Structures are given as structure tokens and as C-alpha cells.
Amino acid sequence: MAKRLAGRSAIVTGAGRGIGRAIAELLAGEGAGVVVNDLGSAVDGTGTSTGVADEVVAAIRERGGNAVANHDSVADFAAAERLIATAAKEFGAVDVLVNNAGILRDRMIFNMSEEEWDAVIAVHLKGTFNCTRHASRIMREQRRGSIISISSTSGVYGNSGQANYGAAKDGIAGLTRVAARDLGRYGITVNAVCPGAMTRMAATVPQTARERRTERGLSTGLGERTFPLQNFGPENVAPFVVYLATDAARDINGQTFLVMAGLVALLGYPAPVRTIQRDRRWTPEEIATIFPHTFGMDLVNPAPAKEPT
């Protein structure tokens, strides 16, 4: 079978390790020329190393693929423009953008510093905007393009200790929904993927917390159905991301998917589920009276108050 992305050009941010690397390698395996972007930082965003992106490029070339390295920070508007221009210059187009770069600075919100907030928002959210903005100008002229941004269940469900990361990742989902509407008419699709995989980033989360979240996320999210989730490698996230970049997915636009360990799930848009309505304004007292029996019925407090110990 012919390679699905032969002659196409792709950019993967944060492609030096983990999920980004798996995506870059699979894109190259399908024939795309890939710009492997990675600043080479630690999980917390400190330090840089050109070797991380270079090694992935070498691995792709060894298997006969086509790739170049880029070491710019996506958090910098001008640097992101250079990154996108690299694809245009090296491969003659910008067909695929995968926004994957990210860092972590977990802290309970009451202790989070301004710097911890700013750093995470800058790389994830502004970085995704920067690359989307610059790539979309070229894609719009081409009237073709696929943008896939990595969001997270941390944003969708809310993970304790991740105010910065959860906000950034839900922000990426919101940006995806708007960009899909801004760009769809030009033949561009914009979708988001919430991945689950064992990477060095996931390894920073305590095992007990991870187990609790996995249980909670899947049991609330999937109702009665449960799935034995095995095969948690980043290589099991990459195929669906690459699928979204192929012509087969040209009509999938503005969606968010959960992809982990063999599971691919479409996440529904938020929607009003229970409504109260009448012909004049409610009073707060009236809402207090009817709320528990009407639209507030059966709500669960995710973190009920505890007496001080």
C-alpha cells in the first residue's frame, strides 16, 4: 500500500521524547518529511539540549525517512514562526502540525507561584497558539492542512495539583474548537487528542494518584463499560494522531479524542443537560429551594469538605 503521507510536510513540537517522538517517527514512516522540534528541556522546562531532537532525526533517517531538527522554543512567537518556516523551506509546504510540546510544574493552587503558572501556560497554551497561528497562514494559502493539538484529561476532568496544566490543556481544547471554525472552510482540520501513555512526564505523577485517576476517569467517563487498559506505550497514541493527519480524516474537524492503551474515544461537546426556565427572573431563594430536586439533582462534590485533623 502506498504511503499515506508521501510528499507531505509535518511539524511535531516536543518530538524529542515520549508521545511526540512516537508521532514524528510514525509520520516519517508514512512518508512525510518531518520537522522534529524539541528544546531538549527537563520535564519542568529548565535547561536545553540540541541532542534530543537530533537523535530522533538520526533515528528517522536511519530507517530511510526524511527529517530535520529544530531547537526553537514554541513559547516564543518569533521562534515559532521560524519553526513553521523551517518546514516550508525544507519540504516545500506545511501540511501537518502536531502541537505536543509541554512541561509540568505541579503544585496545589494555594501554593502555586506566579512563575509556575506562567511557565506552564507559556509552553502549552501560548506555544500551541503560536504554532497554530503561523502554520494556519500557510495552510490557508495551500487550502489544505491538519492540525492536531495534544490536550489532556487533566483539563477535561480536573486533576488535583495541576491548576496551571489543567487550565492550559482545557485552553488548548477551547482554542481547537475555535480554530476548527476559523479554518475549516479553507480545507484545514483542527482536532485535539487527550493521550494517556507512560512517558517521563507521566512518571512524575505518584502511582497512587495515577491509579485513582485512571479508575475515576474511566469509570465516570465510560459508564458501565470498563476496559482492561494495557499496552500504555506512546506508540499506541501515535497511530490515531497520524490517522487524523491523513486524507481519510479530512472531514473530522473540531473534535477531541481520548486515546490511551488501545482505547480511542470521541469526547462529546459540553452541553446543557438539565434546565430550569420560566417567564420571570428567579430569586436566589427560589433557586436554593428547587436546586437539589431539579437541575442540581445527584451532583457529586469531587472533594467534599473534611474536618481539620
Catalytic residues: 165
110 binds another protein (CB under 8 A): yes
293 binds another protein (CB under 8 A): no
232 binds another protein (CB under 8 A): no
DSSP 207: H
CB of 306 to another protein, least distance (A): 5
Question: How far apart are alpha carbons 143 and 122 in whole angstroms?
Answer: 29
Q: Which stretch binds another protein (CB under 8 A): 60-68, 84-92, 200-208, 294-302?
A: 294-302
Question: How far apart are alpha carbons 23 and 12 in whole angstroms?
Answer: 8
CB of 255 to another protein, least distance (A): 6
Among 34, 70, 170, 196, binds another protein (CB under 8 A): 170
224 binds another protein (CB under 8 A): no
Nearer to another protein, 69 or 138 (CB): 138
Q: Which stretch binds another protein (CB under 8 A): 34-42, 60-68, 97-105, 155-163?
A: 155-163
Among 7, 92, 206, 302, binds another protein (CB under 8 A): 302
- Residues 237-276, one symbol each (x = binds another protein by CB under 8 A, - = not), give --xx-xx--x-xxxxxxxxxxx---xxxxxxxxxxxxxxx
Question: How far apart are alpha carbons 170 and 9 in whole angstroms?
Answer: 28
CB 33 within 8 A of CB 10: yes
Question: How far apart are alpha carbons 8 and 31 in whole angstroms?
Answer: 7
CB 130 within 8 A of CB 66: no
47 binds another protein (CB under 8 A): no
Among 35, 96, 98, 179, binds another protein (CB under 8 A): 179
Among 51, 157, 202, 210, binds another protein (CB under 8 A): 157
182 binds another protein (CB under 8 A): yes
Question: How far apart are alpha carbons 124 and 223 in whole angstroms?
Answer: 30
- Grid cell listed for 165: 496544566
21 binds another protein (CB under 8 A): no
CB 36 within 8 A of CB 28: no
Helix (H) or strand (E) holding 210: helix 207-221
Nearer to another protein, 91 or 243 (CB): 243
CB of 294 to another protein, least distance (A): 9
Beta pairing partners, 194: 258
- Grid cell listed for 59: 533515528
Among 166, 193, 197, 199, binds another protein (CB under 8 A): 166
Q: What is the torsion angle, in degrees rounded to the nearest 10, for the CA atoms of residue 165, residue 168, residue 170 and residue 174? A: -170
CB of 245 to another protein, least distance (A): 10
Among 77, 88, 205, 214, binds another protein (CB under 8 A): 77
* Cβ neighbours of residue 67 closer than 8 Å, sequence gap 6 or more: 24, 28, 33, 34, 35, 36, 56, 57, 60, 61
